[in-house]
Structure 1
């Protein structure tokens, strides 16, 4: 059941949170992107109630983040594989790791994002269409080509 967004049906943040903004869904995606595929693997990793896990997996399949594939006919069993859309979510998770480490890891980092080839820590960054890094303070949000008049008005009144 889709609930009516209080902010805006056009807002990409609201749209994204509608699909994966719930705690368990994000952790399921984390595990799926680290190679877990089967119901019992998610259950063991997360300690989540089976009915809750079923609902969250179905929601992620419906949102196009995971694909449900049969691996056994008797009894029927399925694995959950990240789609291209689901794979793209890894950027969000890596950003959450960096942000969480920066603000909530008083005891030190237990997990960090590193460059595979060098092992050196990396931080999330914005890049322009040519791939050049752009400092976050030089980035703003603006109305896109499909924005409604209301969205254009709302974004036009946002402070820079």
Structure 2
């Protein structure tokens, strides 16, 4: 489940609050068919749940299940590792911010300002490079 590149990136974005198909596609730069296939697999594995938010046409959003939520620390450590060892000239592509004080996630997955332990419920993706959290 975690060995396939797109699945991890999709789950990362879902955990960061990007829940709709078109927003996931835009954020990841992935084809519709690959995204559809990977989302189906994540739903089948019980890592992501699909909820209809519109009828005619049916549209769905994707949210993490408790099983998927358990992977959040792993994904955030991978994100932090990549930002430290493969920095981009224009800064990190994803900035994980604490909603309460605006601090950033440190290597211990805590807020660098107030020290609170971070989790999906108290963070937001502050990056201007992707859709905002809903």
State the TM bucket, normalised to the shorter chain: 0.5 to 0.7
Moved over 6 A (4+): none
CA–CA distance in 2 between the matches of 1:70 and 1:121?
32
TM-score (norm 1): 0.57
CA–CA distance in 2 between the matches of 1:21 and 1:76?
31
1:122 and 2:94 aligned? no
Q: Which has the higher helix share?
A: 1
> Does the Cα contact within 8 Å between 1:66 and 1:86 map onto a contact in 2?
yes
| Structure ID, larger Rg | 1
The alignment's C-alpha RMSD in Å is 2.4
Unaligned runs of 5+ in 2: 110-134
Select the structure with the greater relative contact order (CA < 8 A; seq sep ≥ 6): 2
CA–CA distance in 2 between the matches of 1:80 and 1:96?
22
TM-score (norm 2): 0.66
Unaligned runs of 5+ in 1: 1-18, 126-160
- Judging changes above 3 Å, is the alpha-carbon distance between structure 1 residues 70 and 122 closer, same or farther for their aligned structure 2 residues? same
